[in-house]
Structures are given as C-alpha cells and as structure tokens.
C-alpha cells in the first residue's frame, strides 16, 4: 500500500496509474514494463542521473534535453518516452523513481502477484533471490516479485517489506538492539 501522506507519493501514484492505463492490453503492458525497466536500470546504475533527477536547479528546457539523451541511449520510444518527456516538461523528474516503484506494483497486482521490497547489504545472488521468492510464495500463497535494493549500512541480513508487513533481520538492527539492551543492564 502506498504512503499517500507524502505529496510526492500521491503524485507518483497518479503518474503510475496514468501510465498503466495508457496500455490497452497485456502486450502493451509488457512493452511498457520493459521500457520502464530499462530506464530504472539506467537510473540505478548512474549516480549522475540520480543527482540530475533530484536536482531542482535545472530548467524545464535543460531537463528535456537531458532526458532526450537518456531516452536515446536507452532506446526508449513510444509511450514511456513520451511519458518521461511530459514529466520533464512539467519539471517533475524528481518523482520518477517513485513512479517506477508504483508502476511495478500496479503491474504485479494486474498479474495477481505481490511485490516485496528487499534491502540487503550486498547484491543478492540468483540462488538467494530464488530461495527468497520461494519462501515468500509459500508464506503468502501467491507469486512474488522482488524489488531488490542494496544498503551497505545494514552490514548483513535482510529487510523484507510486503505491504504493511516488515521483517528486519539486518545485522545493523540486531546490533542496535543489543546496544540498547546493554545500556539498560549497566
């Protein structure tokens, strides 16, 4: 469930819903998902693109020129390309990462899947991803799509969020709990 208390998440939900509704059939949805995935991969792998998207100092014209270059490099055309151009024209690029997350959630719901946000200290191997998906599928009773992120400050372990439920087995949290318990004893 989205946190609609934030104006950004509400805006992201509206944009994601609009993008989702532009697709008329499953084939168009698959193409949209592919294009959104390519853009998200570029975003995740480029610190410069992340800074650019978050920065309020660029004019709409500068944002449009830059996003055109990114779209050309990623070979993203059609609905997603036009959609990102509209967002750039409206100076709303800062909301794109949340739009991607919300769009993926809508696609998963359309397929009858649920999305689990998984944060780990290091990238998960293919075997770990498969085992985690299997465990979550058995627990939830439906297919699970993983939205994996890396946060080295966790030290080890995982944080898994599915809907409003969260399981935090990170070493950082365990050490914090131990530190708190040690303070109470002494």
> pLDDT of 19-77, one tens digit each?
999 887 777 898 999 999 999 999 988 999 999 999 999 998 999 999 999 999 989 98
How far apart are alpha carbons 89 and 62 in whole angstroms? 10
Same domain for 99 and 122, yes or no, is no
- Average pLDDT of 85-107? 92
Q: What is the pLDDT of residue 6?
A: 64
Please check whether residue 72 lies inside any domain of the structure.
Answer: yes
Domain boundary among 85, 106, 127: 106
In 112-149, which residue ranges form alpha helices assigned H by DSSP? 126-140
Same domain for 171 and 119, yes or no, is yes
* Confidence check: pLDDT of 4 > 80: no
Same domain for 102 and 131, yes or no, is no
Strand partners, 161: 117, 166
Q: What is the pLDDT of residue 115?
A: 86
Helix pair 47-54, 26-45: axis angle to 10 deg = 100
Q: Kind of pairing, strands 114-120 and 158-162?
A: antiparallel
Residues spanned by the domain of 46: 7-106
Domain boundary among 72, 106, 140: 106
Same domain for 38 and 19, yes or no, is yes
Strands (E), the chain: 114-120, 144-150, 158-162, 165-168
Same domain for 98 and 120, yes or no, is no
Q: What is the pLDDT of residue 130?
A: 94
Please check whether residue 1 lies inside any domain of the structure.
Answer: no
The pLDDT-based confidence of 111 (bands split at 50, 70, 90) is: confident
- Average pLDDT of 70-96? 93
Dihedral, CA atoms, 138, 170, 166, 135, nearest 10 degrees?
0
How many domains would you assign to the chain? Answer: 2
Same domain for 91 and 41, yes or no, is yes
Please check whether residue 2 lies inside any domain of the structure.
Answer: no
Same domain for 97 and 49, yes or no, is yes
Percent of the chain with pLDDT over 90: 61
Domain boundary among 88, 106, 124: 106
Q: Is 26 or 160 the better-scoring residue by pLDDT?
A: 160
State pTM to two decimals: 0.70
- The two tokens of residue 141 are 């009773």
Q: What is the pLDDT of residue 3?
A: 43
Same domain for 89 and 119, yes or no, is no
Same domain for 76 and 119, yes or no, is no
Q: What is the pLDDT of residue 186?
A: 61
Same domain for 81 and 135, yes or no, is no
Same domain for 75 and 125, yes or no, is no
């Amino acid at each position: 469930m989205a946190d609609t208390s934030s104006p950004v998440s509400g805006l992201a939900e509206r944009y994601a819903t609009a993008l989702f509704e532009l697709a008329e059939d499953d084939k168009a949805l698959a193409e949209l998902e592919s294009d959104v995935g390519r853009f998200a991969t570029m975003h995740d792998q480029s610190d410069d693109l992340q800074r650019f998207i978050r920065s309020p100092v660029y004019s709409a014209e500068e944002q449009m020129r830059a996003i055109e270059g990114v779209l050309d490099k990623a070979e993203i055309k059609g609905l997603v390309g036009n959609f990102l151009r509209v967002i750039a024209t409206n100076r709303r690029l800062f909301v794109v990462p949340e739009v991607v997350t919300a769009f993926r959630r809508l696609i998963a719901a359309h397929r009858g899947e649920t999305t689990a946000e998984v944060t780990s200290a290091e990238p998960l191997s293919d075997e770990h991803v498969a085992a985690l998906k299997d465990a979550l599928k058995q627990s939830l009773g439906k297919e699970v799509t993983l939205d994996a992120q890396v946060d080295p400050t966790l030290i080890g372990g995982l944080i898994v969020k599915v809907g409003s439920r969260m399981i935090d087995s990170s070493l950082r949290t365990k050490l914090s709990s131990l530190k708190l318990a040690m303070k109470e004893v002494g």
